[in-house]
């Protein structure tokens, strides 16, 4: 291949920005996506055997079943991860309720429940005769206990939002205390356990009757649940007897679990195991409570089409957009703006914040022909790293890691990393260690170059080199995990002669990454990992067809891009489905309801009108992925999907121009 040809390829690649960073649906890793859960049901399955010291009693007076705990009760605990699945942090905002009856007036700090690790109590509630002690992140808030030992049923709820905790008893009394905490607190779910009736932060075991311990993340359920303080007539049901106690039996037809709703029980809560919802007793009738949780719509919604929602004008064309959520700060999108202006040492990339349902420019971040942005969190700190291509392909360029300053609410430069025409940064963790993989593309005309995996050094609090891996025309690192195996796939685009070459998957073993499998790719710029029904898949975006296999240089933008499926038994990925793609530099997998979708970018390097369409595919059983939507859009480089208020939005970055777009999903109900 002549120098001219190399130049041409470089130019084509740069000008058309057939360039990609990583593409993964970024869901905030705070565990706020679960519905109401009853800790007791999780700890003591209804049909399982009862732990020692626990018995089920039937309270004749109120017609309810409840658990009774004796002093010799054994530890009742389960890992928090069995409820908080595939997320990292304990919800920052939550409500928790329990329903109890206690007749003992001399309580020695009895435990109702706790969520804790060995060193830290995330949340717990202890009772003494005088106080109800709510602990959050090892800090105690004490509320006066004026009612709980009268041997009657009571509902106690705590709601934590921002810097307050509110206790609500029987929906009648509400008391608010200031909560001393960092917001967000980032309490790691990993290694935490949930305990019922016996816990480290309280001295003794609970010795009354306990019905439910209901946990709901992200909502002030008490406020929504409790009826207005002065009962309005609308709530009145003319079946309600004036003397409720004499008519209890007339309500038992609702079922034994629900019979506890009497006129006296205004505001009592219960958890319906069948509908997995919370119910509140309002004047003798159990009413469903709506929470912030995504609730199943009565009809099933399916993607109908996408409509343009907002144009985002970025400082220059952008080949990557990273969407991320910072708890307490909001949702952000940062565009990797390749600065095409010659003779300018530095360019800028635009950081946008989702404000009142649109993205607004928030900060300009210095970058030098940015190729990819990568957001991550270490401890309580937020970071944003940029892969800088630089302005001279033969020289070392600094790529930058920025750190969020909590008080200024801006990103500031934190560390620089020397890179050669960097295309991608990929953050991942393995066993609590933090890593950042950099894809170096080439040094001048030489595609073979060391790419670098950095590791966070806890002492210096900086990234240091962990391993170098020689790569050839590298474009994208994609980390993924299958069971306990950690993988890194590299997309390699060009070896100086042809784009038809091998890309590699590495596996982490004995503290380093070792080759696992090679896969033939054609101008590969992106890997997308996703799972469907517990099976692992890897899709490659093949962007460019150049070399002896296409000596006439025809339709260089048109390639076959494939999805590979992991066969765990054979320990290898096998081809699952192949698509003809046009200028594909990014695949994005997303789910709407139970449907799996894929969108593939089209950077529009050429071809007929028809070939400039962007396509969305939906998984349709044995037909695999079937194209369901075609769209004429700006040349798209990178796709991301996010949800807000039950609406689904798409962001794509414009590979050739300043106008990137937000699209909104329109649904049809079937
Ligand atoms: C490239 O960037 C460096 C600093 O990063 C600057 O000194 C130099 O002038 C730039 N060169 C060109 C050709 O823009
Ligand atoms: C890269 O950053 C380091 C430290 O900030 C600085 O000393 C060095 O001059 C920078 N190199 C270039 C090429 O800008
Ligand atoms: C794509 O795959 C088809 C079917 O295997 C093949 O005929 C075609 O040549 C391939 N195209 C390219 C660009 O590799």
In sequence order, the 6+-apart residues with CB closer than 8 A to the CB of 343 are none
Q: Tell me if the bond preceding 368 is cis, omega within 30° of 0.
A: no
The residue contributing the CA closest to ligand 1 atom 3 is 345
Measured from the CB, is residue 556 less than 6 Å from ligand 3? no
pLDDT at 271: 56
Q: Can you list the alpha helix ranges (DSSP code H) found in 233-389?
A: none
Phi/psi at 460 (5° precision): -85, -10
CA distance 474 to 372: 13
- Interval between CA 601 and ligand 2 midpoint (Å): 34
The residue contributing the CA closest to ligand 1 atom 9 is 345
- Say if residues 621 and 594 touch (Cβ distance below 8 Å): no
- Interval between CA 342 and ligand 1 midpoint (Å): 9
Q: Kind of pairing, strands 153-161 and 164-169?
A: antiparallel
Atom number in ligand 1 closest to CA 368? 5
The residue contributing the CA closest to ligand 2 atom 3 is 416
- Say if residues 217 and 89 touch (Cβ distance below 8 Å): no
In sequence order, the 6+-apart residues with CB closer than 8 A to the CB of 123 are 90, 94, 96, 114, 115, 116, 134, 135, 136, 160
To 5 degrees, how large is the angle CA 234–CA 239–CA 241? Answer: 105
Phi/psi at 552 (5° precision): -85, 0
Q: How many secondary structure helices (H) and strands (E) does the chain include?
A: 3, 46
Atom number in ligand 2 closest to CA 398? 1
> Is-above-0.95 flag for pTM?
no
Query: Which residues, listed in sequence order, are joined to residue 111 by a DSSP beta bridge?
Result: 126, 205
CA distance 21 to 525: 8
Phi/psi at 266 (5° precision): -45, 125
CA distance 155 to 109: 19
Atom number in ligand 2 closest to CA 397? 13
- Interval between CA 636 and ligand 1 midpoint (Å): 28
Measured from the CB, is residue 416 less than 6 Å from ligand 2? yes
State both tokens at 411.
């990103």
Q: Cα 452 from chain centroid?
A: 27
Q: Is 6 helix (H, G, I), strand (E, B) or coil?
A: helix
Measured from the CB, is residue 582 less than 6 Å from ligand 3? no
Q: Cα 163 from chain centroid?
A: 23
Ligand nearest to the CA of 366: 1
Q: What is the 3-state secondary structure of 358-397? A: EEEEEEEEEECCEEEEEEEEECCEEEEEEEECCCCCCCCE
CA distance 321 to 386: 11
Ligand nearest to the CA of 396: 2
In sequence order, the 6+-apart residues with CB closer than 8 A to the CB of 518 are 502, 503, 504, 505
Strand order in the sheet with 381-388: 370-378, 381-388, 397-405, 410-419
Q: Residue 632 gets which letter from DSSP?
A: E
State both tokens at 483.
């069971």
- Interval between CA 645 and ligand 3 midpoint (Å): 43
- Say if residues 612 and 558 touch (Cβ distance below 8 Å): no
Q: Cα 317 from chain centroid?
A: 28
pLDDT at 183: 65
Measured from the CB, is residue 545 less than 6 Å from ligand 3? yes
The topology (CATH level 3) of 37-225 is: Jelly Rolls (2.60.120)
Atom number in ligand 3 closest to CA 580? 1
CA-closest candidate to residue 419, choices 432, 402, 436: 436
Measured from the CB, is residue 395 less than 6 Å from ligand 2? no
pLDDT at 583: 93
Specify the DSSP element, H or E, that contains 321.
strand 318-326
Measured from the CB, is residue 391 less than 6 Å from ligand 2? no
Measured from the CB, is residue 233 less than 6 Å from ligand 1? no
State both tokens at 262.
């009497």
Tell me the domain boundaries of the chain.
37-225, 227-296, 299-310+583-670
The residue contributing the CA closest to ligand 2 atom 9 is 398
CA distance 336 to 352: 12
- Interval between CA 398 and ligand 2 midpoint (Å): 6
**Probe residue for ligand 1, chosen from 368, 392, 413 as the CB with the greatest number of ligand atoms within 8 Å:** 392
Give the dihedral sign, CA 346/416/659/330: negative
**Probe residue for ligand 3, chosen from 560, 563, 583, 607 as the CB with the greatest number of ligand atoms within 8 Å:** 560
To 5 degrees, how large is the angle CA 350–CA 353–CA 358? Answer: 110
Atom number in ligand 1 closest to CA 392? 1
CA-closest candidate to residue 615, choices 541, 555, 533, 564: 541
Q: Residue 267 gets which letter from DSSP?
A: T
Measured from the CB, is residue 560 less than 6 Å from ligand 3? yes
Give the dihedral sign, CA 459/380/373/368: negative
Strand order in the sheet with 358-367: 318-326, 330-337, 347-355, 358-367
pLDDT along the chain (670 residues), means of 10: 43 34 40 78 75 78 75 86 84 86 81 93 92 92 83 84 82 82 79 91 87 76 55 28 29 34 56 58 61 48 90 94 92 87 72 96 95 95 96 92 96 97 96 96 94 97 97 97 94 95 96 96 97 94 95 93 94 96 95 91 85 91 90 94 90 94 89
Q: Kind of pairing, strands 535-542 and 64-69?
A: unpaired
The residue contributing the CA closest to ligand 1 atom 12 is 343
pLDDT at 281: 66
Query: Count of residues for the chain?
Result: 670
- Say if residues 95 and 157 touch (Cβ distance below 8 Å): yes
b (16+ CB within 10 A) / e for 461-492? eebeebbebebbbbbbbbbbeeeeebbbbbbb
- Interval between CA 546 and ligand 3 midpoint (Å): 14
State both tokens at 331.
């949702």
Measured from the CB, is residue 33 less than 6 Å from ligand 1? no
Q: Kind of pairing, strands 625-632 and 613-619?
A: antiparallel
pLDDT at 225: 61
- Interval between CA 357 and ligand 3 midpoint (Å): 43
CA distance 385 to 308: 29
**Probe residue for ligand 2, chosen from 398, 413, 418 as the CB with the greatest number of ligand atoms within 8 Å:** 398
CA distance 72 to 205: 8
């Amino acid at each position: 291949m002549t120098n001219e040809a190399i130049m041409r390829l470089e130019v084509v690649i740069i000008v058309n920005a057939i360039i990609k960073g990583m593409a993964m649906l970024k869901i905030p890793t705070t565990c706020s996506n679960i519905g109401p859960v009853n800790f007791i049901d999780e700890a003591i399955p209804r049909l399982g055997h009862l732990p020692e010291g626990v018995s089920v009693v039937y309270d004749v007076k109120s017609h309810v079943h409840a658990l009774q705990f004796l002093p010799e009760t054994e530890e009742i605990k389960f890992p928090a991860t069995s409820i908080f699945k595939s997320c990292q942090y304990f919800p920052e905002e939550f409500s928790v309720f329990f329903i109890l009856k206690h007749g003992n007036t001399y309580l020695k700090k009895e435990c109702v429940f706790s969520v804790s690790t060995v060193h830290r109590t995330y949340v717990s509630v202890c009772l003494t005769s005088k106080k109800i002690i709510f602990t959050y992140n090892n800090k105690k808030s004490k509320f006066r206990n004026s009612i709980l030992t009268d041997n009657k049923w009571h509902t106690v709820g705590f709601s934590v939002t921002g810097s307050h905790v509110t206790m609500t008893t029987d929906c009648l009394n509400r008391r608010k205390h200031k909560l001393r905490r960092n917001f967000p607190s980032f309490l790691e779910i990993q290694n935490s356990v949930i305990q019922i009736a016996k816990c480290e932060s309280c001295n003794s075991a609970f010795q009354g009757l306990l019905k439910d311990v209901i946990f709901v993340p992200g909502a002030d359920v008490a406020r929504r649940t409790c009826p207005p303080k002065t009962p309005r007539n609308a709530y009145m049901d003319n079946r309600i007897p004036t003397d409720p106690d004499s008519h209890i039996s007339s309500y038992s037809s609702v079922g034994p679990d629900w019979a506890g709703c009497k006129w006296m029980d205004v505001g009592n809560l219960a958890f319906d195991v069948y509908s997995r919802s919370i119910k509140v007793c309002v004047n003798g009738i159990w009413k469903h409570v709506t929470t912030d949780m995504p609730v199943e719509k009565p009809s099933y919604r399916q993607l109908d089409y996408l409509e343009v929602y907002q144009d985002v004008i970025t400082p220059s064309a952008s080949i990557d957009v990273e969407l991320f959520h910072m708890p307490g700060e909001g949702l952000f999108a940062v565009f990797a703006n390749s600065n095409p202006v010659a003779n300018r040492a530095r360019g800028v990339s635009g950081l946008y914040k989702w404000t009142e349902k649109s993205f607004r420019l928030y900060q300009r971040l210095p970058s030098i022909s940015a190729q990819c942005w990568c957001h991550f969190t270490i401890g309580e700190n937020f970071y944003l790293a940029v892969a800088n291509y630089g302005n001279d392909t033969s020289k070392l360029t600094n790529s930058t890691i920025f750190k969020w300053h909590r008080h200024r609410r801006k990103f500031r430069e934190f560390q620089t990393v020397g890179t050669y025409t960097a295309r991608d940064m990929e953050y991942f963790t393995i066993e609590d260690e933090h890593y950042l993989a950099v894809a170096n593309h080439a040094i001048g005309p030489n595609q073979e170059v060391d790419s670098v995996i950095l590791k966070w050094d806890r002492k210096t609090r900086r990234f240091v080199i962990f391993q170098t891996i020689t790569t050839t025309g590298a474009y994208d690192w994609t980390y993924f995990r299958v069971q306990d195996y950690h993988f890194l796939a590299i997309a390699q685009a060009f070896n100086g002669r042809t784009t038809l070459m091998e890309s590699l998957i590495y596996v982490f073993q004995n503290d380093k990454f070792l080759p696992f499998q090679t896969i033939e790719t054609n101008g590969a710029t992106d890997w997308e990992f996703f799972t469907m029904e517990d099976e692992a898949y890897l899709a490659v975006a093949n962007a460019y067809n150049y070399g002896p296999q296409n000596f006439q240089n025809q339709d260089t933008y048109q390639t076959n891009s494939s999805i590979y499926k992991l066969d765990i038994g054979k320990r290898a990925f096998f081809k699952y489905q192949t698509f003809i793609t046009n200028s594909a530099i990014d695949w994005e997998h997303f789910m709407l309801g139970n449907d799996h979708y894929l969108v593939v970018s089209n950077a529009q390097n050429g071809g007929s009108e028809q070939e400039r369409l962007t396509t969305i595919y939906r998984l349709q059983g044995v037909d695999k992925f079937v194209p369901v939507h075609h769209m004429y859009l700006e040349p798209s480089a990178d796709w991301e999907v996010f949800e807000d208020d039950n609406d689904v939005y798409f962001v794509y970055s414009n590979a050739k121009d300043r106008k990137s777009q937000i699209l909104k999903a329109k649904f049809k109900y079937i």
